[in-house]
Amino acid sequence: MSLPLVISPLQLSTAQAHSKILVIDLSSRENYLQGHIPGAIHMDPARLLRGSGDIANKIPQPEQISSLFGELGLTADQQVVVYDDQMGPWAGRMIWTLHSVGHRNCSFLNGHLPAWINAGFVIESTENKAIPSHYPVTSEPGYLADIAYITDHLRDTNHIVLDVRSAAEFSGEKVINAKRGGHIPGAVNYEWTRALVSTDYPELRPAEDIRAELAALGVTPDKTVITHCQTHRRSGLSYLFTKHLGFDKVRCYDGSWFEWGNREDTPVEP
């Protein structure tokens, strides 16, 4: 069964009644044990990070992804639905990770667990265990941007850098774990929470509203969008919502500002 990229609680409930869906809860373990969607498997979102090297927030190596997906019991044709307790960044990064190895049957639960509960569906506190599988992966091109790729396209009008950090981070007024503040030359700023109804109600706003705001910044579907934040957590959501809007060419800079802002050879604008 194939579901849209962004689904409602009702769509998930209906799908669960007719086919086996792998629901992945990317919340904290404490929150997962307090209550989750029936059948959901817990996953530590830190597994979406490489966890080693100078830039530990980069995408895991293929063998790490293969091991993770095998532990989750994922199979090649299985429909996956993800949600988190952070308003969407981890769930969005999970979607990007799945896409980057060719797994297209995946969906983002709009509104996460609060929306599920508000829709009147039950939750459970039982810890569910996956039946391990074998899931070999091969990285696909077109999903990742590194320093070399960005540098090569800084003056390319067919590319645009979408920085979803706060305005203070973008301007350099606020610097987090970096030697330098500011932004990549030519980047535009769209703080990630603008795509949500509110921080208390973390559903995506209407697609046409987000699309119009991005277009006003020059972020349009005809361009290749390179999105990033500080560690490619928040920009997990911007990957998700641009794909939801129909953007075909979206790359994520997983090194993000933690890498760019700590180097001496990368150009920076205030």
Point out the residues that are catalytic. Answer: 229
Cα distance between residue 48 and residue 61, in whole Å: 10
Q: What angle do CA 86, 87, 89 make, to 5 degrees?
A: 75
Cα 27 to its chain centre, rounded Å, is 14
Helix (H) or strand (E) holding 117: helix 112-118
Q: How far is CA 81 from CA 164, 193, 194, 223, 260, in A?
A: 24, 21, 23, 28, 32
Question: What residue type is 134 in one-letter code?
Answer: H
Helix (H) or strand (E) holding 208: helix 207-216
Bridge partner residues of 183 (DSSP): 269
